[in-house]
Structure 1
Amino acid sequence: MKIFFRNIHLYLSLASGLVIALVCLTGGLLVFEREIEQAWHPQRYFLTATGPQRLPLQQLADAVKATDAKAKVSGLKVYADPSRTVEISLMGGGPQGGRKPPEAPTATGAGAGKAGKKEAPKGGEGGGPKLYVNPYTGAIIDKVTYRDTFFFSVMALHRGMVGGPVGKLVVGVSTLLFLFIIGTGLVLWWPATRQAVRQRLTVKWDASWKRLNHDLHVVLGFYSALFLFVFAFTGLAWSFEWFNNGIFTLTHSDPKGPEAPKSAPAAAGRIISFDAAYAAARRAAPTAVYYAIQLPKDSTESLRVNTLRPDAATESATDELYLDQHTGQVLGRLAFTDRNLGQRVRRTFKPVHTGAIFGTPSKVLALVVCMLGVTFPVTGTVMWLGRLRKARRKAAKQRVAVG
């Protein structure tokens, strides 16, 4: 029976090993994306307060629009931390504003539509640039379009987007095969006797290079198998719509959730200021870590403000406030805990997949496991080549003996 599982393990690994190694490598680089970006560009995110109070948000938005006549502000993000810059997102601002965002199926909350709807890209909504503004002086510190960054390229490789739909399918299928590779690997690891347990749990560092390669593959593969399985399993949500649909089917949940309330009819173009929306959001959630204000796309949509509680389980556990875009009246609120089970489960996939579920410790673990995932196709190939040479030598000796 083990020969059967060994063959399954071998051929699936040969078929998808290179893709798996690339996905693990790029995934490891993305684990600390935010921390690396903040370390590379601290002035973009942090500053020293230079005045007694922040400037009005509308004034900051107007200053941004003054730099580009074609710029259209789609939203902004204000942090409670006074040392953070204000992030203003643009749609259709400049030559980069019209690019399409990367596709990523996800359930996005109230009024979201199907489970496979595209998630909002980093940077400005619709793929436009994001500007980082000093809230005390109104100075524009930096302007970034996510598609032009190093980490977008890494993310594109990670999801297979560099190859278009075919590339995404290849990554998705390889990830699916990886689950079977991990399962068959555990079957092959299982020791035949109790005496062999210790050998399967310990790397013999002073052994020959062949034995060391064997232990690095088998022993470290066992320790990382559960984590790799979880990362691969959650990663399927970004590859297959049927997987996302399955989450809501199994949880008997509606991917759309409750419909967002509509704004009352009013004169065209009459929208409340960012400051009015911010004030209403602070009254509703005075202790929030940040307030992300998203302008409505038409005259009937409500103005939405996403907030994050300081005690939120993950960064995806955000609450949503709905305001009448014409009067600023609070129309409703959808707390993360009020979302249906399917939406809550789907929103935990990203922090689990990236290792952010338990903060820095789980991120470190995710990075280590991803780097080990890069080595397994290599150590496994070395083991296979060793067995192949051994079999050929044995066959050659048998032919000589017969001759």
Structure 2
Amino acid sequence: MTLKKTILFLHRWIGLLSGLVVFIVSITGAIYVFEKELFALFHPSYVTVTAHKGEKTLPLSILKANAQRVTDHPITLIRVPARDDQRQIYLFEALKRRPKNDIVGVFINKEIRYWDRIFVDPYSGKVLGKIDVETNFFWIVRQIHQFLYLRRDVGSTIVGTSVLLFIITLLSGIFLWWPKNRKVAVKRLKINFSAKWKRLNYDLHQVLGFYAFFVAIVIAATGLVWSFKWWETSIYWLLDGKRPNKKHEEPKAPENTIDAASEASLDLIWSDVVKSYGAHEGALVNIPQNASVANVTVYKKGNTWWSASDTYTYDLRSEKCSFQRLQNDKTLGMKWRDSNYDIHVGKIAGRTGMWIAFVTSLICASLPVTGFYIWYGRKFKKKKKQRS
């Protein structure tokens, strides 16, 4: 068996093995690219408010207290919109606690954490709505995309393995597509829409596969980060030579401590952060339950394509910053990891990049379908000839 025949054999059977999962992951990925935009389309009253001229936002503690009244679970995360966007709401997230090891069967998702999302008008303090993500369409789409709606450990392994196989089919496909000369290359870059269905299907498979190759590889490679820890670690070692230590010790409690859950502390911490930024692209305030620290991540416009953010850790007892990690202090590996999601969905290149990721995801979904039809058509044709 020649090298080309061996690669064709691998391309065909690996594609058949991973095709169904690749199709599902690609379709759900295409939907999730515009998750925020689609959510805003279907829930406009949840995401925008009317700000009157000169009107100021209420203190973060008051907004948090209003949000806490509509949920039985403690609020642990606050999403603050961009500072120059006066029409955006504040989003509070309350994590639902579940017993550890409460897992029964392959199709049970009990180990996956869910939360309530509460939308609050920052000017009036009015709660605009609440969503339980466990039954939210986009969260279900995300779980199918990452875990096939199975148990996290089972589904993640299946998805990750299928994506790895898909990368192999992409590489073997580009090898099989590669032309001998320029004249042949020109033919392989065009789709003959006037041809019969079998020929058109073949063109759609190889031509679209070629055009989507580079972006598809990037999407697949960045997606593997959530399936395999060893993949993430490997990229860290490739970029930095080691995996960075992101952990830091919690500051020791001073003699005169205050309640870690003090709402006044939250306002003082947030005002301290705001003083450092004339403008920002949004922020996350993370208040872990039963912890004495609050982590604040502020997103900003960077001078490069990396997704830029600064992170601060505040001691809720002393109300002082005990740790900070600024964008300029991050290693190359850390900048990549913070940007991995934006690269995965194309957001790193703005709206244009998101559309490219969307179209590429649809092409990736079509490749197993057109590939299966090529294989089935040839196999069926051989059997028909043998019978005649």
Same structural fold, with TM-score higher than 0.5 when normalized by the shorter chain: yes
Alignment partner of 1:350 out of 338, 341, 361: 341
Matches within 5 A, 1:3-402: 3-50=5-52, 52-68=55-71, 70-79=72-81, 80=83, 81-91=85-95, 97-99=96-98, 127-164=114-151, 165-250=153-238, 251-257=240-246, 259=248, 262=251, 264-265=253-254, 266-269=256-259, 271=262, 272-298=264-290, 301-311=292-302, 316-396=307-387
Change in CA separation of 1:254 and 1:373 when aligned onto 2, cut-off 3 Å: closer
Deviations 1:53-91 (A, max 9, x none): 2222222222233445x4423232332122111122224
Contact between 1:261 and 1:332, CA under 8 Å: does it hold in 2? Answer: no
Q: Distance in 2 between matches of 1:275 and 1:73?
A: 15
- 1:143, CA displacement in angstroms? 0.9
Secondary structure of the residue aligned to 1:162 is: coil
Instruction: Please say if residues 15 and 368 of structure 2, whose CA atoms lie closer than 8 Å, have aligned partners that are also in contact.
Output: yes
SS at match of 2:149: helix
Q: Deviations over 1:144-181 (max 9, x none)?
A: 22222101111111112522122221111111100110
- In structure 1, give the amino acid aligned to 2:257: A
| AA in 2 matched with 1:52 | E
Offset, 1:8: 0.7
Indicate if the aligned counterparts of 2:233 and 2:243 stay in contact, CA closer than 8 A. no
**Bigger mean CA deviation after superposition, 272-281 or 312-321:** 312-321
Shift of 1:142: 0.9
Moved more, 195-204 or 243-252: 243-252
Q: Is the 1:221–1:376 contact (alpha carbons within 8 Å) kept by the matching residues of 2?
A: yes
Task: Tell me if the contact between 2:347 and 2:354 (Cα under 8 Å) persists in the aligned partners.
Answer: yes
CA contact (8 A) 1:263 1:302 kept: no
Q: Counterpart amino acid of 2:174? A: L
CA distance in 2, matches of 1:234, 1:139: 39
Distance 2:120 2:233 in 1: 39
Deviation at 1:13, TM superposition (A): 0.9
- Report the secondary structure of 1:75's partner residue: strand
Deviation larger for 277-286 or 10-19: 277-286
Q: 1:378 to 1:41 in 2, by over 3 A?
A: same
TM-score by length of 1: 0.84
1:99–1:127 contact (8 Å) kept in structure 2: no
Distance 1:312 1:83, change over 3 A: farther
Does the CA-based 8 Å contact 2:306-2:335 persist in structure 1? no
Contact 1:30 1:151 in 2 (8 A): yes
Stretches of structure 2 lacking an aligned partner (at least 5 in a row)? 101-111
Distance 1:189 1:67, change over 3 A: closer
1:94 counterpart residue number: none
Task: Give distance in 2, aligned partners of 1:297 and 1:213.
Answer: 55
**Is the 1:296–1:302 contact (alpha carbons within 8 Å) kept by the matching residues of 2?**
yes
- How many residues in Structure 1 have an aligned counterpart in Structure 2? 367
> Residues of 2 paired with 1:260 and 1:297: CA distance?
17
